[in-house]
Structure formats: structure tokens, C-alpha cells
A = this chain, B = another copy of it.
Amino acid sequence: MKAKDLASALGLQLRGDGDTELDGIAPIEQAGVGMLSLLAHPKYLRVLQKTRPACVIAPGELAGRIEIAALVSEDPYLDFAKALELFSPPYRPANGIDASARISSKAEIGHGASIGAYCVIGPGARIGRNAIIHPHATIYPGVQIGADFVCHSQVSIREKVIIGNSVVIHNGAVIGSDGFRFMERNGGLLKIPHTGTVVIEDDVEIGANVTIDRAISGATRIRRGAKLDNLIQIGHNCDIGEYSRFAAQVGIAGSVQIGEWCEFGGQAGCADHITIGKRVRVSAQAGIPNSLEDGAVVYGTPALDVHTFRRMVAVAPKLPQMVRRLKALEDKIAELTEKLSRSNGR
């Protein structure tokens, strides 16, 4: 692709030689000679000298300071994301339903679907238009799915789960497995039936091998635009707020309410039956035992306010030294007391 063609495809103004050939695309540190890259901040001007891409997407003030071709952008990150897709369009299987897909005669599939080999879709399932379902997905009976669904291989969607529009589910994820509640009875453990379901709203993305449990009654709910990375556990009866993001391996116990626009770091966990406010930020590996207010920023297990945590963590390695200082003080005071008592006794 030539720089001028890309500029035109992205609707951006071009500076420099429009005939520059672009061999590939990569972030500035990984860019190579002849590639398109991103220059979003002056601090990367130095890196530019080293990796020597042929062209960058850059804001106007930076585009004027470099010698190579540039596409002038008011939102370089956004235009770089668009350019990534132009260079390497995501894999999309051909339309049509594979002959080996086992679709119940009582299921409904919308127009424009691509359904892969050996998919199994049960009776009563309804799937909206333009679905892309990769091989080996299992969609249990009674599942309802909106338009523009993308479902990768080995996904299981359990009975009666409800999924909105434009939802993406990566390989191996399980939506609607039974929640985990047992009662001690008669010397054994009696399972609490999970007769509810899971509701996934529009624009949600769910990572590979994620598990989301169905509710005891009602629904476990993942709200509009929430994003889940890989290997995450969402317990029964949780309610995950709009546009909240969870890094890999996060675990949310049962009946947790999480507000909108929260961000959880990897391997963080929430105890059951708590409420997390809006725009809460949780560090990687944090463990949250209690409810949190809107805007809280927490670290550690049990989770503490970020400032308290940082001060504590800075001091903690000095604990052994503190013990020695404490002992020295105790000795010194015993000595002083002794001296004073002798001095007074004179």
C-alpha cells in the first residue's frame, strides 16, 4: 500500500511523499524499515531514529517535526487502530451454514450467518443476522442471541442464556454453567439448583476460557460494553456494570454488584454479596472483602486505598529494622530510668 492510498482510505491529510510504499504496520518500538507506525508523543521522536519506519500517523505538531511521510491525525491512536485493520483485515469465514452443523429444526438463524463445521444449535435457539459462529460451538436449547454475533470455536452457551447485539465470545468460554452453592444436609452436600440464567448485553466481549455462572433465579448480568479478558470467573447472580473492564484471571464471587466503567487488574478477586461503585479501579491481584464507593482506587489483599497501600508497602520491608530500633529504645529507656532513679536517689 502507498502512503497516499492509506491517507485517502483513512480520510487523513498527508505530509511528505505519497508514493512511499508501506510494507507493514507496527507500534513505534517494533516498527521496521519501510513500515507504517504511530507517533503520538514527542518522547517517541528518539525511538523513530532507531526503528526508522517509512511513515507515521501523527498529530500536526509532530508531523511538522519529522522528515518521513506522515498522516496528520487529530486522534492518532484511533487512526492507527483503523490502519491496523486495513493492513490486516480480521479473519472472517465465508458466509453459509456448514453441512455438518447440527441445527435443530426448531432453531432460527438470521440472514447472513456463517456457521462452522460441527456446530450444535439446540431447539428453541434464535440467533440474529450476520452471526459468525466458528466450528465446534455448542449452543444449548432456548438460547437467544442478537445480531452481529461472533463466537469462536469450542464455546459453550448453556440453556436459555440471553445475548444481545454485537457480542464477541472467544474460544472455550462457558456461558451459563451452574453456580456454586451447596448446603450441608444429612452428612452430605445438597446442591442448590440454579434455575436462572445469564444475560449478556450489547457490545460485550468475552475472552477465551472465561466462565460465567447462571443465577439461582433471575439472571447473572453482564451489561452493555463490558469487556472480559481470558480465564475470568463471574459467579452466579453477579451484575457487571456497563463498560467495565476486567483483565485476565479475575474472579468475582456470587451476587456481586459492580458499577459502570470499573477497571480490574489481572488476578484480582471480589468476595460475595458486595457492591462496587462506579469507576472503581482495582489493582492486579487485589482482594476486595467489602463494598467500595464510587471512584475508589484500591490495592492489595485485603484491599486498601491506593495511598495507604503505597505508604504501607514502602515501609513494610523495614519491619525487621523497626523491631531492632524498638528493642534499642527499650534498652535505652531502661538505662535512662535506672540512671534517673540513681540520680534522684543521690
The complex places the Cα of A298 from the Cα of B253 at a distance, in Å, of 19
Provide the residues of chain B in CB contact with A344, threshold 8 Å.
339, 343
A9 CB-CB contact with B under 8 Å: no
Q: Which A residues fall within an 8 A CB radius of B?
A: 24-27, 30, 75, 77-78, 81, 84-85, 87-88, 90-91, 100, 102, 116-118, 120, 134-136, 138, 140-142, 152-154, 156, 158-160, 170-172, 174, 177-178, 180, 182-183, 185, 188-193, 195, 203, 205, 207-209, 211, 213, 216-218, 225, 227, 229-231, 233, 235, 237, 243, 245, 247-249, 251, 253, 266-267, 269, 271, 284-285, 287, 300-302, 304, 308, 311-320, 322-323, 325-326, 329-330, 332-333, 336-337, 339-340, 343-344
A168 → chain B closest CB, angstroms = 8
Question: Of B174, B182, B237, B319, which one neighbours A315 at CB under 8 angstroms?
Answer: B319
A18 to chain B, nearest CB (A): 23
Contacts of A207 in B (CB 8 A): 177, 180, 211
Docked complex Cα distance between A344 and B344 (Å): 10
In the complex, the chain B residue whose C-beta lies closest to that of A210 is: B209
Query: In the docked arrangement, what's the CA distance between A191 and B80, Å?
Result: 12
Cross-chain contact A266 with B251 (CB below 8 angstroms) = yes
> Does B170 lie within 8 Å of A171, measured CB to CB?
no
Cβ contact within 8 Å between B343 and A225: no
Q: Which B residues touch A154, using CB under 8 A?
A: 136, 138, 154, 156, 172, 174
* A188 pairs with B174, CB closer than 8 A: no
Find out whether the CB atom of B102 lies under 8 angstroms from the CB atom of A117.
yes
B189 near A245 with CB under 8 A, answer: yes
**Contact check: which of B304, B314, B326 meets A322 at CB < 8 Å?**
B326
Q: Provide the bound-state CA to CA distance between A199 and B320, in Å.
A: 46
Contacts A117-B102, A227-B189; A269 near B267 (Cβ below 8 A):
yes
How many angstroms between the C-alpha atoms of A81 and B229 in the bound complex? 33
Whether the pair B189, A243 counts as a contact (CB closer than 8 A) is yes
**Which B residues are in CB contact (< 8 Å) with A26?**
217-218
Copies per complex of this chain = 3
**What residues of B have a CB within 8 angstroms of the CB of A88 in the complex?**
193, 195, 217
For the complex with contacts A91-B160, A343-B344, 19 further pairs of A-B residues with Cβ separation under 8 Å are A85-B195, A120-B135, A138-B171, A171-B177, A188-B243, A189-B243, A209-B211, A211-B248, A213-B230, A233-B249, A233-B266, A267-B287, A312-B319, A316-B316, A318-B323, A329-B329, A333-B336, A336-B337, A340-B340
- In the bound complex, what is the Cα–Cα distance between A177 and B169 (angstroms)? 10
Chain B CB count within 10 A is highest, among A78, A116, A230, for A230
Q: Is the pair A337, B343 in contact by a Cβ cutoff of 8 Å?
A: no
Task: For A77, give its contact among B78, B183, B267 (CB under 8 Å).
Answer: B183
A319 CA / B208 CA spacing, docked (Å): 41
**Contact call B287/A218, Cβ cutoff below 8 A:** no
Q: A170-B174, A180-B207, A247-B180 are in contact. Are A330 and B329 (CB under 8 A)?
A: yes
Nearest CB on B from A97, distance (A): 14
Give A266 Cβ to nearest chain B Cβ, in Å.
Answer: 5
